Homo-oligomer: A and B are copies of this chain.
């Protein structure tokens, strides 16, 4: 009888939590290392906040939007409530504002780590989420927006991920347009219609801005086409300012990343609770899975633009990497020879049972090669 059937409750993991097995775990670690190395090359310095903080700290500012997704723990030391991070952005903002407040801006930080979310009952989504991201803190400019987006694209390229779309939005445009022109009692219904992309409901509920909103809905698509369509609309005031900034950011992104698949959805505002400017969602065009997201926000009082990649999704989108070839070696092989094999990329699997037939053992232990008579040979 297998151990599994004897101990079903012990073998079971809570939904949303998973083991990564050999191969998977190695691929995740290598993927995160590749992304973090790309960030490091562009001057983003790594910080590592703890998994647990006081609730008051972790859920302050932009973190408050994640309050219902956060597990709490009581600190037996202080009897204050602590929380397990559901996201790392708030932590990076805290580090920038407190620990690194005297470091010159622009401050470029990178991070990677695991987060835990409460999850939504009945949904089979991950509850432990790996993140690897960057924050560019200080400047508020199109060029800063573009640096973050383009560096995200470089990280994906380093993983050889093809078929990627960067979907831009500027939630302030549509939100401020509605705010300025629509009575408070009709606002929610209109926003709901916009979110559903329900053109006829937008026409009915849009009042004096119905036409402009319908035109914005129709502008969704490839970035340059969308900008051309939006340029014909009569924006004014802060809405116009948002549009001009969107155009400037796209122009700056194009300078670094002329080939990037870039789209604009000018009425996308949902899911961007604390963002103040350009927002971006990165999708795999094959699976429509979200690979990462980010945007402009305030890190405490400072302008910031960040991007968080999801290594688990990246690995599903990336081509399979090679694993180490495994070479079966005698127990007493000297260190010099082992080092040579390691430098050639082999993992060495040492004989432990001197009596067993090396060829049989090598195959049983999933080796691809064997060290025999002073030389390596393929199995």
Contacts and interface: CB of A to CB of B under 8 A. Distances in A.
A264 to B, nearest CB: 23
The size bracket of the interface on A is 35 or more
Interface stretch (A23-31, A180-188, A208-216, A286-294): A23-31
A19 interface: yes
A25 B47 contact: yes
A12 to B, nearest CB: 7
Interface string A311-339: 00000000000001010000110000000
Contact of A128 (B40, B51, B326): B51
A349 to B, nearest CB: 4
A100 interface: yes
Interface stretch (A104-112, A193-201, A235-243, A269-277): A104-112
Given A71-B73, A347-B40, A352-B141, A29 B46 contact: yes
A127 B75 CA distance: 11
B143 A14 contact: no
- This protein's copies in its complex: 2
Contacts of A147: 350, 352
B349 A40 contact: no
A52 B14 contact: yes
Interface stretch (A77-85, A167-175, A221-229, A371-379): A77-85
A14 B54 CA distance: 6
A14 B82 contact: yes
Given A114-B51, A348-B41, A364-B104, A22 B109 contact: yes
A12 B54 contact: yes
B26 A40 contact: yes
Interface in A26-72: 26, 28-29, 33, 36, 40-43, 45-54, 56-57, 60, 71
Interface of A: 2-4, 7, 9-15, 17-26, 28-29, 33, 36, 40-43, 45-54, 56-57, 60, 71, 73, 75-78, 80, 82, 84, 91, 94-95, 97-101, 103-104, 106, 108-109, 111-112, 114, 116, 118-119, 121-122, 127-128, 139, 141, 143-144, 147, 255, 300-301, 324, 326, 331-332, 342, 346-350, 352-353, 364-366
Contacts of A255: 332
Contacts of A56: 9-10
A100 B11 CA distance: 12
Given A9-B56, A41-B348, 6 more contacts: A14-B75, A14-B77, A14-B80, A52-B128, A84-B84, A139-B352
Contacts of A84: 73, 84
Contacts of A91: 19
Nearest to A302: B3
Nearest to A141: B352
A362 to B, nearest CB: 11
